[in-house]
Structure 1
């Protein structure tokens, strides 16, 4: 720019006044002013906007306003317009979690309706997870079980515990449940005992052992016992077995026979519907239970009782794996009922001479 005086501009006073109005920079004093190097009258004035331009600008302004309002109502206005690193408005709201916080599992517990079971009774085991306060969190469904005494108890994979007859002490076991929860292994144990299932009255009994089988003993973990009681209706029996190599296919009274002899079947115990390697049956032997043999009529119940009293019969159990017999024993008079002979059925029977034999082992059945 060139600084000049008002005299150098020349022209009339009206022209000087008009030029002063259109100058972008006013004079710094009454007689001096800034003057562009290019004469002002060389610039072309901007044309006035047309009606179409004014409408377009109005439309754009309205559209921009609507966009701003939409963003603000949607909750994104503050975040979209805040400077980088600044605060947003409104601030984001963290949703409230309405779900309860899971309780931490600290242990498990093994439960059952009862801890003393009669032989051949079953109970269902249940495992529960506990929190730090000992409160139950929920039932554990994937538990596995171990057993310290397989002679006295059998436990299924789904947690059904069954007490077994056994002639081997102790008549108890500790069952341990194990479960993996969130990668952590938990265990819990509980003791269970077997109670005898012997009947209230016993006249004769015998343990059934695989080594007593004749003509050749068998080798098996099987175990059993039979209780007999003479009544007015026949011979009541309670027969238990466990650990057979297969399900029973027959159980009989054989005789007459010597202690180590072999004889035909006199009477049948009903085990045809038994399909487990352990079990218990109760019933009464009557005339219908006694077989006719060798072309002769079946003996009477009185005669059967006499043979039992004289130890001239033996009881055996046959299994699918040992069809010739897996368990055998010779009944003898119970110490509690030996004085009750003569028997209640028929005429008094002659007392049998004492015979030497092995007594049944201490048993729980």
Structure 2
């Protein structure tokens, strides 16, 4: 059983993927070809914002967002310690300081109630992560940012593209939305890729310049930049995948809901999904005691697993001395000891799901 069934998705989209990629091979514009603009237009419409800027990866999206905001050495960015390293990595690369605030124990998202106490005169931005495919409490975070001089809010939506929050789409809820098209994401390409979303014309223009080495026109370098373009072939893949993306999101929602129902009564902690939003389940994650023993039994039964994530960032060697932790982080540390991800994709079949849950029930016995 695959952990994420990309082969089934490819089989369903094979002809359209081949057609899209062949078109690129025929016209030969491998960098900034017409598919780049076509994809940006479709993605902006999907999210409901004015601007989409495709970039080389989800990490590059976060980096460029911070560069467009002119993050300076010593500036602080409030974020979660319970996330992939890229969230803090980009802050540190620019000389900034990640300020870690604890998570909600039931959703594993950044706890908005704890943000205000962490704000200082050096705070420049807040970067919530829409973990596992569920958006954090963005309206409350936006309200906090507004009360403190209009701080920028960057949604790290690497796992939540396609998710909804109070009738709006992830990536269209704040100053910047940043997502990833890594192959395992809800909308993935066949390599690295990502995108930025904003309604701010000036920030969008800055990001477009930054992704091409800071050029406002060829060989005129207006600002510092990076080589951050998403190549045309990867845009072609995502264009093909967009054709069934709405169906895939509906499947993810249904499969996630079925998992939640099947797990009722088992000695596991299910992820809480708030009533005013949904979860597109980039990972179907729960919490268990004695995790290593459970994993061993699941693997022996032919069920693959993963851990997202086994150690919070404030305890990672690269970040321990480069961050600020204004208060204890017990929920992030507890989640890191207990989270376990099960097989999940839009093509997961009911019989496979039943097999996973039966193996988990036996592993917990």
TM over 0.5: no
Q: TM-score, normalised by structure 2?
A: 0.24
Q: TM-score, normalised by structure 1?
A: 0.24
Normalized per residue, the structure richer in strand is 1
Normalized per residue, the structure richer in helix is 2
Q: Which has the higher contact order (CA 8 A, sep 6+)?
A: 2
Please identify the structure whose Cα radius of gyration is greater.
Answer: 1
